[in-house]
Amino acid sequence: MAVDATPLLGRATGVGTFVSGLLAGLAGRPAETLASLDVSAYALSLRGWRRLGTVLPAGLGVRRGTMPAGLGLRAWPIVPVPRFEWFAGRADVVHGTNFLVPPTGGGAVVTVHALVSLHYPEMVDSTSARYPAGVRSAIRRGALVHTPSLFVAREVVEDFGADPDRVVAVAHGAPRAGRGDPVAGCAIAGGGRYVLALGTVEPRKGLPDLVRAFGMLADEDADLRLVLAGPDGWGLEAVEAATAELSKGLRRRVQRLGWVAPGDRDDLLAGAAVLAYPSRYEGFGFPPLEAMAAGVPVVATDAGALPEVLGAAAPLVPVGDVDALAAALADALALDGPAREAVVAAGRAHAATFTWAACAEGLAHAYAMAAGA
């Protein structure tokens, strides 16, 4: 079977985290079951497949044919060509890991991470806006749909009219808990006490709400800083506007770092007082689980799949309620001693329930279903 490993090329993203964890989980399965799957990777990139061998787990092969993803995005919603076999050879099952799966003579699985582009088209770029058409065409061709949460699975059934028996919810694993240096994290943040947000600056992440909530807290906490770590996206102007509403003194305490290297990310988590995740829509939610695994308290919204994924391990506030967000952050910042230790322990235990081994096993069953169909 063939898995799209294109998201492993370039800077790490949430989809890249999923693909990396899934392939590691598949490679870690018992030898006899891995051999029965005969897993290989392909890339929707003209030159990408040449680099795949450097980022794949040992034991996984690389398919040497390739084509650009842009061509597939434009062609596949309309016509079932070019077929997978034309550029990468035959496979019993092809898994498109990021909304797009090539037409194939074998079975097909397509991962739908979330339906932001369908419900909030104003929150996505032009590439993401094409995803729903690609998903619809994959469903028409008989592809099995994988989602990371029951929330997204229900949306796929309701919005696309998919057969519920052909939609499988298999949760991702939790990102690794890096051993960061809190002193280094505080140095990067520019202060010893900070609220951290991780992720691309884009509208659905709710970062303007977080900036406003920080403004409500920081007047009474002279040491508190807000650190936004993630590449600039198409939501930058709204974040800058919210920051401009703060007083000059508070604006200097908002640190926007852009993309950070994995080691710096680990350090920032290690030094953070709390991770804030004020998302307006979410299909899963890696950063809160990553923070929990690293021993950091989390405050999040009740957006999308977050109640399902985070459970009782983090306080959840209504989407867009800045007052409630500020109050929950204040409570988390006030945690100390045994109270904080209890929250940290509960978070770590919860994150530990999301494993890549379980994700790989769930997808292996999905592949068997797709092959049988």
Q: What pLDDT, on a 0 to 100 scale, did the predictor assign at position 47?
A: 73
Which residues are CB-contacts of 34 (< 8 A; sequence separation ≥ 6)?
Answer: 26, 27, 59
Of 3-12, 184-193, 303-312, the poorest mean pLDDT is in 3-12
Better pLDDT: 96 or 234: 96
Question: Do 54 and 136 fall into the same domain?
Answer: yes
Q: What pLDDT, on a 0 to 100 scale, did the predictor assign at position 58?
A: 83
How far is it, in rounded angstroms, from Cα 261 to Cα 80?
Answer: 39
Question: Do 213 and 264 fall into the same domain?
Answer: yes
Side chain identity at 356, as an amino acid letter? W
Question: Do 310 and 187 fall into the same domain?
Answer: yes
Which residues are CB-contacts of 270 (< 8 A; sequence separation ≥ 6)?
Answer: 178, 179, 180, 181, 182, 184, 185, 294
> In the sheet where 254-258 sits, what is the strand order?
254-258, 224-229, 193-198, 274-277, 298-301, 316-317
Digit-coded pLDDT (tens) for 204-224: 999 999 999 999 999 889 999
How far is it, in rounded angstroms, from Cα 248 to Cα 48?
Answer: 46
- pLDDT > 60? residue 291: yes
- pLDDT > 60? residue 35: no
Question: Do 259 and 342 fall into the same domain?
Answer: yes
Q: What pLDDT, on a 0 to 100 scale, did the predictor assign at position 12?
A: 79
First to last CA, the chain: 14
Q: What pLDDT, on a 0 to 100 scale, did the predictor assign at position 270?
A: 97
Report the pLDDT averaged over residues 362-366: 96
How far is it, in rounded angstroms, from Cα 301 to Cα 317?
Answer: 5
Question: Do 118 and 233 fall into the same domain?
Answer: no
Question: Do 34 and 116 fall into the same domain?
Answer: yes
Q: What pLDDT, on a 0 to 100 scale, did the predictor assign at position 34?
A: 55
- pLDDT > 90? residue 25: yes
127 close to 202: Cβ distance less than 8 angstroms: no
Q: What pLDDT, on a 0 to 100 scale, did the predictor assign at position 207?
A: 97
Question: Do 194 and 337 fall into the same domain?
Answer: yes
- With a pLDDT cut of 90, the percent of the chain lying above it is 80
pLDDT band at residue 13 under the 50/70/90 scheme: confident
- Domains identified in the chain, total number: 2
Better pLDDT: 339 or 36: 339
- pLDDT > 80? residue 316: yes
Digit-coded pLDDT (tens) for 260-270: 999 999 999 99
Question: Do 215 and 321 fall into the same domain?
Answer: yes
Match 């209504």 to its residue by tokens.
Answer: 318
Question: Do 331 and 271 fall into the same domain?
Answer: yes
Report the pLDDT averaged over residues 71-91: 92
The structure tokens listed for 297 are 């308290």
pLDDT band at residue 199 under the 50/70/90 scheme: very high
pLDDT band at residue 65 under the 50/70/90 scheme: confident
pLDDT band at residue 305 under the 50/70/90 scheme: very high
Question: Do 103 and 128 fall into the same domain?
Answer: yes
Three-class SS of residue 348? helix
Question: Do 233 and 330 fall into the same domain?
Answer: yes
Report the pLDDT averaged over residues 145-169: 98
Better pLDDT: 63 or 182: 182
Question: Do 157 and 193 fall into the same domain?
Answer: no
Its domain, for residue 301, covers: 182-351
How far is it, in rounded angstroms, from Cα 328 to Cα 126?
Answer: 35
- CATH code, domain with 240: 3.40.50.2000
